[in-house]
A and B are shown apart, each in its own frame.
Chain A
Amino acid sequence: MLNRRLVLTLAFVGAFALPRLAAAEDVPVIAAASDLQFALTEIAAAFQADTGQRVDLTLGSTGTIATQIRQGAPFQMFLAADEAFIATLHAEGLTRDEGVLYAEGRLVIMVPHGSALQADAALSGLAAQLDAGTLGKFAIANPDHAPYGQRAEEALRHAGLWDRVQPHLVLGENVSQAAQFALSGNADGGIIAWSLALAPEVAAQGDFALIPNDWHNSLMQRMVLLPTAGPVAEAFYDFMQSPEAREVMVKYGFVLPEGP
């Protein structure tokens, strides 16, 4: 009596397990830096509309993704916010080739509506708040592993504000989280990616100003196929370099490298 019930339960459970096991079609996982949140989602949708094929996106800080790739994460393509990470992975033999530049990223200072902080390209608003001693929290991505965070630090150093602003910093795990912090109302503002600020849902939340790109090392964003890449990933890689995709990238402020 007990045995029969046990067998039936196991069969029932097994039947449920099958659909999950069978769902393993070839939908490649594309890992990308968080600044591509909106741009890449749009491009992936266009890819699916054009070719009928699907890709799955997973976004995070460039450094974190690189570590995961070292740990054997099953990504098929990687779009980094800083080509240095790609170079290192390539040297370790973890990529198919050196990849290709797909964009240059830019920084903006962004403040939510109603913030006492003013957003301007020279960061003078930020300096003023620091002088007056009235600055609350200021968000950037974590310089340890997020390229946008590293560049934010460089820009702040260039403006001579780094030491004074440090005690006020909140660090986002990636630039998207930094944007969250900057606009959530708990911080006075932050330095985030231009590509995020240009997204309608983000732009609506505050004001921003583009930071001169000679205030920091350039954000050369490179993408590369990984060894496990299949035909769909390869098609997407090519699609990224197509005019259709490039148009979307421009919309989100990504300066394109002079391409063929």
Chain B
Amino acid sequence: MDWTALTLSLWLAFWTVAILLPVSVLAGRGLAYTNFRGKGLVEAAVMLPLVLPPTVLGYYLLVGFGANSHLGGLWQGIFGHPLAFSFEGLVLASVLFNLPFAIQPAQRGFEAIPVALREAAACCGLSPWRALWKVDLPLAWPGLLTAMVLTFAHTLGEFGIVLMVGGSIPNETKTIAIAIYDRVQAFDTDAAGVMAATLVAISFVTIAATYWLSARLGKRLT
């Protein structure tokens, strides 16, 4: 059981969710409430990582922030080590790769709020910011919760992207999914089996707990 890899995976999932939560609120709400030219394009762009194979995204990410890129060079200059093959690089890749999981359900959550309610909030004197806290979030939170749970679970299971951008460096980019792959290649099926089962258990418990919580909260609100 590779505890380092497991911890690393949990951290990666945590940071991905932490960064994407405000993104999903703002982008989900923006897409739900406004119509603008090119909105379809934006929505398609957000969904892109869902249909692209991880290798394609991995390739572009390496090109985009590998050692030979502007961003990579900048990062190296500031921090002294490359962005690729680092935990921060994984977080960046993970954030991009999870955009559809984070934004789409959030957008649906906000869209489910009747227009009349939003208009009523404005006519009650609530600025868009105050309306977000007092009306939108209390009503759209199921969509946000779905988004964050999906993002968390998806990140835990990420493999292709991590393999391409990460390099399987212990305590840096060797997530538990990579560790399982590694153990299989080492013909150590016992260790692989234990880790795989652990991953399934954690994902299942997380999702179940989240939905149980949301059902309880939901009963309080409706």
Contact = CB atoms under 8 A, between A and B. Distances in A.
B71 to A, nearest CB: 12
A199 interface: yes
A74 B81 contact: yes
A174 interface: yes
Nearest to B133: A2
A70 B67 contact: yes
Nearest to A205: B187
Contacts, number: 69
A73 B167 CA distance: 7
Interface string B1-35: 00000011001000000100000000000000000
A163 interface: no
A4 interface: no
Nearest to A68: B167
Contacts of A68: 85, 167
Interface string B166-208: 0111111010000000101111100000000000000000000
22 contacts: A27-B170, A34-B185, A38-B186, A41-B186, A56-B169, A56-B171, A58-B168, A58-B170, A59-B185, A60-B168, A71-B66, A71-B67, A71-B82, A72-B66, A73-B82, A73-B169, A74-B81, A176-B185, A179-B187, A180-B184, A180-B187, A202-B187
Interface in A174-216: 174, 176-177, 179-180, 199, 201-202
B62 interface: yes
B171 A23 contact: yes
A88 to B, nearest CB: 16
A74 B187 contact: no
B69 to A, nearest CB: 10
Q: Interface size for chain A: under 10, 10 to 19, 20 to 34, or 35 or more residues?
A: 20 to 34
Contacts of A72: 66-67, 72, 76, 82, 84-85
B185 A58 contact: no
Nearest 5 pairs of A and B residues by beta carbon: A72-B67, A72-B82, A176-B185, A56-B170, A71-B66
B85 A73 contact: yes
Contacts of B72: 72
Contact of A29 (B7, B170, B186, B188): B170
Nearest to B171: A23
Contacts of A73: 82, 84-85, 167, 169
